[in-house]
Amino acid sequence: MGTMTADALTAFALSLAPGDFYRRVLDSLYDAVYLTDLERRIVYWNRAAEVLTGYLAKDVVGKCCADNILRHVNEAGAVLCTSECPLSCTMNDCVPRQSEVYFHHRDGHRIPVSVRVCPLLNESGAVVGAVEIFHDNSRHRAALERAKDLATLAFLDPVSQVASRRYLEEKLAEHLDQWEKFGSFFGILMVDVDKFKQVNDTYGHLTGDATLLVVARTLAGCLRGSDVLGRWGGDEFMAILPRVTEATLAATAQRCRTMVRESSVPLEGTRVAVSISVGAAAIAPGDTAESLVKRADERMYRDKQANRNR
């Protein structure tokens, strides 16, 4: 489309954006919706998009969708906005697309979403833009519901908003009991925030607390609804994964590393990078809670010493 003046962009946006009635309909949807022109400039952003992403319409309309806004990445951490953008591909070949990606919330953490992209056509059938519809998936919603339940039972860690160590110890004992009685296989992940003391010393404890919250929210988005995530203590987290294979346990550990690395903590016009080290351990005959945690802990620290955020 070339460079457009502000008036021309406004006129074009109005031609793409829905009328008042359809705007009210779109604003009433649970799904987040936004529209772009051919240059991927956002011309409409509904209320659900505001709620889900933390960005208000006035903050993003007129900007390119890749301009440090959602920054979609896949599970491998590939940045889709600059390489395999579904929206660009759909405008190029007019083929709708659907995928599972992670977007970057305004507060810094990553949220898993299901994305659908469709081309926008004019009366002549030419592509003039695209619409993206996305919603958070069940893993994230399950994590929010679990947080409410934990708060009711006084099992919620107030800083990270995930389960407390007391709750983790009780669930670990339950899973060990199920393993001994019925052979119910499970595994755990021990997670440590890299250079957390440096974050506290450099930016202060409020930023340290914000870092723990960003890590916890991102980890929650990487886990299944049946998994349990909690703060073990300090800058350490534990996840308990029931009915999991060793391959899935390893893949989940890698996904957690990747998504946290793609997250950040907002701070006075800048962002603080975050990374973690992870150790995984699967239950084995003769294990106690102490031996299982110790094995995962040792692997986590080997990971940290060998190569931070490997």
pLDDT digits (tens, 9 = 90+) for 242-252: 999 999 999 99
Sequence length of the chain is 310
Does 11 score more than 50 pLDDT? no
Determine the average pLDDT of the residues in 82-107.
85
Do 260 and 219 meet the contact criterion of CB atoms below 8 Å apart?
A: yes
- 106 SS3 class: coil
Does 68 score more than 80 pLDDT? no
pLDDT number for residue 309: 46
- 9: tokens are 């962009």
Strand-pair partners of 188: 240, 281
DSSP string of 175-216, one letter each residue: HHHHHHHH---EEEEEEEETTHHHHHHHH-HHHHHHHHHHHH
pLDDT higher at 81 or 189? 189
High-pLDDT (> 90) share of the chain, %: 40
pLDDT number for residue 70: 80
pLDDT number for residue 88: 84
**pTM, 2 dp:** 0.70
Contacts of 113 (CB under 8 A, 6+ apart): 52, 100, 101, 102, 103, 134, 135, 136, 137
- Going by their DSSP bridges, the two strands 42-45 and 97-104 should be labelled as unpaired
pLDDT number for residue 103: 85
Tell me the C-alpha distance between 54 and 70, whole Å. 10
- 124 SS3 class: coil
Band (pLDDT 50/70/90 cuts) for residue 275 is very high
Does 239 score more than 50 pLDDT? yes
Spell out the domains of the chain, with CATH numbers in brackets: 6-136 (3.30.450.20), 139-306 (3.30.70.270)
Least confidently predicted of 65-74, 107-116, 171-180, 297-306:
65-74
Tell me the C-alpha distance between 304 and 277, whole Å. 5
Determine the average pLDDT of the residues in 70-80.
78
- Going by their DSSP bridges, the two strands 186-193 and 127-136 should be labelled as unpaired
HSE of 111 in the Cβ direction (CA atoms, 13 Å)?
Answer: 24
Does 3 score more than 70 pLDDT? no
Tell me the C-alpha distance between 66 and 240, whole Å. 35
Does 186 score more than 50 pLDDT? yes
